[in-house]
């Protein structure tokens, strides 16, 4: 095809409309989509009402939505009602690995394919999880705060522990959990894992000993969450689960707020049953300043920043934009959250693209 034929073809080809709201996205996302002649990208202001969401998504084929539920109001979430109001949607794409702002079952019923960016930030999140384990065990947060505000204490007052030789229990051994398992072995940790979606042989291949959830809680010196937030995991860690953990164990989460009960965790830490916690995720985010966990010296707290590094954000932008390009070409996205939707989705895609 010569240049003139190509120019004519691009003027007549189907244009797929991609919409995202004006939240922080690495420039690589917009740059890639703008190079694709079949894609029209719209960046809309962060909505303040249902009406503004509807206006932004009018005629949209792809909705690229925030994965973090506290970045936008609930009316911008992908719900059954939003899908009914926007029947043109074919794809929902998330900003990251999570998809707790998306009703996946409603999307499947509507024939809408859901794509996430699983694995794009796995190195950053895994590093952060290991950092939280080290920080809480070595009492780095406590030392930092006391050194800035107090005198008259000794170094022995802040004596911590090595993590070498401890047992690490991973709740979930997907992309991030597998990376944590690999890093943990370098620190001399024995790694256990439980994951209902991964068989025992694969868990071993990923570097961990497969165990039940109850056994993991009872045996681990550190319990670290790496599972998605969904109906099966919300409230998974509560008072009963903390009580099953070893006395003096540590709890770490870089997963999602709401999977662990924050009030029960504060009680387990305050009573001395658990020795410390490293928390990157909260419900809501950020937590209120008077949150009881923030008052405890043995808690290291971060603001859902495990996957928010320059490298991870670029990886997510590249992966997300490439998946959208693949999708509008009719290819099956490699990170399709609801693969069971594919037959119904294909029928809708072919009708719309014809």
Query: Which stretch of DSSP H or E encloses residue 348?
Result: helix 342-353
Residue among 226, 304, 313, 348 flagged as catalytic = 304
What Cα–Cα distance (Å) separates residue 26 from each residue in 32, 41, 315?
11, 15, 9
Structure tokens at 313: 């954000």
Structure tokens at 162: 């090595």
Query: Which residues touch 295 (CB under 8 Å, ≥6 apart)?
Result: none
d(CA 259, CA 234): 4
d(CA 32, CA 276): 44
Is position 156 annotated as part of the catalytic site? no
- 19 strand-pairing partners: 42, 63
Is 63 exposed, middle or buried (CB count within 10 Å of its CB: 0-12, 13-18, 19+)?
A: buried
Is position 155 annotated as part of the catalytic site? no
Residue among 20, 256, 313, 335 flagged as catalytic = 256
Sheet with 16-21, edge to edge strand ranges: 39-44, 16-21, 62-65, 91-94, 113-115
For CA atoms 274, 278, 281, 285, the dihedral sign is positive
- 191 strand-pairing partners: 168
Residue among 244, 285, 291, 314 flagged as catalytic = 285
d(CA 330, CA 215): 45
Is position 52 annotated as part of the catalytic site? no
**Residues with a known catalytic role:** 256, 285, 304
């Amino acid at each position: 095809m010569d240049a003139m034929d190509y120019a004519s073809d691009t003027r007549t080809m189907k244009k797929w409309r991609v919409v995202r709201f004006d939240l922080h996205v690495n420039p690589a996302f917009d740059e890639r989509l703008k190079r694709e002649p079949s894609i029209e990208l719209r960046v809309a202001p962060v909505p303040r009402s249902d009406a503004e969401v509807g206006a932004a998504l009018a005629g949209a084929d792809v909705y690229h939505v925030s994965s973090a539920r506290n970045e936008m109001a609930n009316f911008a979430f992908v719900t059954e009602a939003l899908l009914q109001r926007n029947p043109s949607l074919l794809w929902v794409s998330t900003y990251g690995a999570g998809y707790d702002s998306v009703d996946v079952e409603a999307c499947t019923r509507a024939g809408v394919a859901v794509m996430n960016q699983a694995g794009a930030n796995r190195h950053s999140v895994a590093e952060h999880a290991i950092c939280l384990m080290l920080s809480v065990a070595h009492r780095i947060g406590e030392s930092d705060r006391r050194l800035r505000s107090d005198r008259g204490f000794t170094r022995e007052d802040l004596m911590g522990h090595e993590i070498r030789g401890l047992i690490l229990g991973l709740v979930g051994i997907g992309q991030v959990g597998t990376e944590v398992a690999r890093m943990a072995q370098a620190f001399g940790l024995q790694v256990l894992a439980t994951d209902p979606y991964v068989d025992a042989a694969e868990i071993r291949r990923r570097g961990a000993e497969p165990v039940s959830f109850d056994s993991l809680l009872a045996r681990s010196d550190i319990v670290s969450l790496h599972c998605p937030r969904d109906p099966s995991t919300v409230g998974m860690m509560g008072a009963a689960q903390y009580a099953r953990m070893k006395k003096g164990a540590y709890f770490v989460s870089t997963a999602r707020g709401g999977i662990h009960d924050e009030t029960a965790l504060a009680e387990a830490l305050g009573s001395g049953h658990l020795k410390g916690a490293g928390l990157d995720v909260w419900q809501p985010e950020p937590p209120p300043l008077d949150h009881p966990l923030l008052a405890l010296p043995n808690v290291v707290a971060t603001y859902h920043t495990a996957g928010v590094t320059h490298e991870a954000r670029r990886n997510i932008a590249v992966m997300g934009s490439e998946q959208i390009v693949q999708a509008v070409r009719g290819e099956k996205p490699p990170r399709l959250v609801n693969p069971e939707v594919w037959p119904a989705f294909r029928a809708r895609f072919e009708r719309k693209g014809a």
